Structure 1
């Protein structure tokens, strides 16, 4: 690493508190100072390039340095960068809201800056709706086992990843959990749909007992991301929608990670033919260029807040709500989907990448190979407690940015991925899996090993 890179690395360690990170680890694990990005590539100050196979935490849909999104932001800068959205409005926020309504059938978009904020908004809206309707007893929320919905207090209260939530348990509202429909739980002879139907029975039993105090159930449609890309059958969503209607429980669809084409359709709920009561969007909404999140809901829910009494209104705000630059970027992202037939092209790319990853099916120690849309994942049987870190470091050496979740390796690349990138990711992963397995076998140890 050059002196220039070392300087930026040290300055970052001295000044920046990095997210989701035990900072002491960076005494041994170098931070990568990124100088520029282009397409699928990130480049450091020494000129080394890395394939961004996780879309920079799942946000970068069309690659770095995309000309159309950059130009849209430049044009917007010439007219309006931001204005308070309380009492004012502007063209990009109106056009984006209209476009999202046309795509989802849900209306009156409420904006914030990140996914956790969108979760908070949906939870508060549901709670407040029932209060406005004279049913204040409906104040609790249901989420799935292994769910993740963000790391603010309200979002953590419906998140079931102890690493994130356990420390803050005294701050969090007590809520309810139901079984995950994770297809990996299938027993011999069972299908993913069978697992989903067993899981939905757990929801029905809970609703029968507790519907009077349940405001909403929140789910990540089809893929539970932070849990390790757990995937499940769409029949779960179909049945859940029916149960929510039957027992008067709101359905909140957290499509923060899985929206905008990640699962193969523009929104994951489309694969079950359902419409949620609240739809949470963020991450890919601006293609990874600016922070933005959005909650869409049904018109009848909106009308329950429409009143002469100010206290019945939804008095929630963020300083950058509906930022004009972010909304303009989001409009361009949606235009790219239409103009370039992205969903069809993604299906072709997914089939191509599946062929490159065929080796996973026959590799000892690889389990639960799975794919939906532009998300791939597999589990590695290993006794190494340091597997995720060792895999991450070894892939960096080969010019690939990955971020395993425990012993789950996943790829969630930008949609501009080409076959040469697929080949590099596949061949690198195959070599690293084999090397780490060989090291463990030769030493009989799960301690951290040198990079292969």
Structure 2
């Protein structure tokens, strides 16, 4: 038995992997990774895999980036962890200073946590308590967009609209208001995202007219609905939503966990619309995929509603053991330094155009590719059975999963989102690796679709 098989069997014996059916591992065992470098992962047998999805979108600057490695090593010899109540450390303070300078204007207060779902839970609780403490205890529900995804804890599921994750837990979940989201590929108004006036915003207006009096906040993934298949919508929608929230006294929560730190071509997706949410959640690329960390960013208006003598009972009683972890903070500082000094976002623009052109040349005329949508280096290929009717494949066929399986032996890591094959590589990926990704994806797709 080779080392891969031996380790995969040991893995299967005890490890319950996330977001999958473990029975699949009988025919597709775990690929045991030994090390990573740049855009590549290498298994214990020496096979390489081009990680074109940044290992669930968080690996912003490549695996084992030397500059980030150095920052972690330096921090490790100084301070690994400290309780974050009545104690702090210089690395967290430095990170806070840096973030406040690049966040949408007005987001001045930062509450640290350890993962994206936890950040969403904090955001929901902050918003709820804020409304209660400012005289609006009648506001008890949340709005969210259809096909939205905000994590898998119960609160986060309650403001999501993906039945794949939430259906069985609905008896446990909050009764929230689900607003029809923009779907530019299947626009009910026969418009396109490049020149529409967001006619679909009427659904939000109707929901606010009916439910705003009881609504605490609306939470959205700005510009890109990731888990829905990288559904991209116009910045104008966000502008209108910010105005609507102001009009009705509803808080706006921006879930930038997947879109932050340059993924959409600007530092944050909200920057495309030049808006400031009341609360913003950040994670994933924050630490370049190195350390579990998230931060909930709020305005002074939110913070001030909690600022009082202890006996007034207005404090936010929520904590995480690893809040403000020094190792996480050091990686985040290193990420921000690389983005700034290496001018990563500026270099991305021509690379993103090149990559999208490659994909259009390879798949633009494919009989089963309904749309190739993109923003910066994020690209998504929506698989359909009929391009005219835009009919998707039956979910039971698991077409995306079949393409994923075919790509692996060729050395390409594609993780599908239902009928959508997406690309979300490190921002500093080289053009030759983008070319390789397209070539290998085409091979895998042809093997499945012909």
In 1, Cα distance between the equivalents of 2:5 and 2:442? 31
Residues 1:189 and 1:227: Cα distance change in structure 2 (over 3 Å) = closer
Question: Take 1:187 and 1:142, find their aligned partners in 2: how far apart are those partners?
Answer: 21
Counterparts in 2 of 1:2-401, with a 5 A limit?
Answer: 3-104=2-103, 105=105, 106-186=107-187, 190-192=191-193, 197-310=198-311, 311-357=313-359, 358-382=361-385, 383=393, 385-401=397-413
1:188 Cα shift?
Answer: 8.1
Check conservation: 1:186, 1:195, Cα contact below 8 A: no
Q: What is the count of residue pairs matched by the alignment?
A: 437
Distance (whole Å) between structure 1 residues aligned to residue 197 and residue 183 of structure 2:
7
Preserved CA contact (<8 Å) 2:355 2:377: no
1:13-52 deviations in Å (ceiling 9; x for gaps): 1121111011111011121000000000000111000000
Query: Hey, what's the Cα distance between the residues in 2 that align with 1:187 and 1:243?
Result: 22
Distance (Å, rounded) in 2 between the aligned partners of 1:202 and 1:195: 15
How far is the alpha carbon of 1:115 from its aligned partner?
0.3
Cα drift, residue 418 of structure 1? 1.2
Distance 2:194 2:2 in 1: 55
What CA distance in whole angstroms lies between the structure 1 residues aligned with 2:357 and 2:224?
22
Shift in Å, 1:196: 6.4
* 1:305 positional shift: 0.1
Go from structure 1 to structure 2 and tell me whether the alpha carbon gap of 1:334 and 1:405 turns closer, same or farther (over 3 Å shift). Answer: same
Q: Describe the superposition over 1:46-89 as per-residue Cα deviations: whole angstroms up to 9, x where unpaired.
A: 10000001101111001011111010111111221110010111
- In structure 1, C-alpha distance between the alignment counterparts of 2:66 and 2:237, rounded to whole Å: 40
- Are the counterparts in 2 of residues 196 and 232 from structure 1 also a CA contact under 8 Å? no
* Contact 1:143 1:177 (C-alpha < 8 Å) held by counterparts: yes
Give RMSD over aligned pairs.
1.4
Q: 1:196 to 1:96 in 2, by over 3 A?
A: farther
Instruction: Summarize deviations over 1:157-192 as a string: whole Å, max 9, x none.
Output: 001110100111111110001111121123685222
- Shifted more, 183-192 versus 150-159: the winner is 183-192
Deviation at 1:195, TM superposition (A): 6.2
Checking the alignment, whether the CA contact within 8 Å between 1:146 and 1:159 is kept in structure 2 is: yes
Where 2:281 maps in the other structure, the secondary structure is strand
Contact 1:350–1:374 under 8 Å retained in 2: yes
Kept in 2: contact 1:181–1:196 (CA 8 A): no
Paired position in structure 2 for 1:443 = none
Q: Which deviates more from structure 2 when the two are superposed, residues 95-104 or residues 109-118?
A: 95-104
Contact kept? 2:353, 2:376, Cα under 8 Å: no
With normalisation by structure 1, the TM-score equals 0.94
- Kindly provide the CA deviation profile for residues 244-264 of structure 1, in whole angstroms up to 9, marking residues without a partner as x: 001110000000001010101
* Residue in 1 that maps onto 2:425: 413
Q: Distance in 2 between matches of 1:119 and 1:81?
A: 25
Name the TM-score, length of structure 2 as normaliser: 0.95
> Contact 1:96–1:331 (CA<8 Å) still a contact in 2?
yes
2:416 aligned to which of 380, 404, 413: 404
Say whether residues 1:423 and 2:435 are aligned partners.
yes
State the distance in 1 between where 2:188 and 2:148 align. Answer: 22
SS of 1:362's equivalent? coil
Q: Tell whether the 8 Å contact from 1:40 to 1:63 is kept in structure 2 after alignment.
A: yes
Provide the C-alpha distance between the structure 1 equivalents of 2:155 and 2:177, rounded to a whole number of angstroms. Answer: 13
What is the alpha-carbon distance in structure 1 between the residues aligned to residue 141 and residue 196 of structure 2? 26
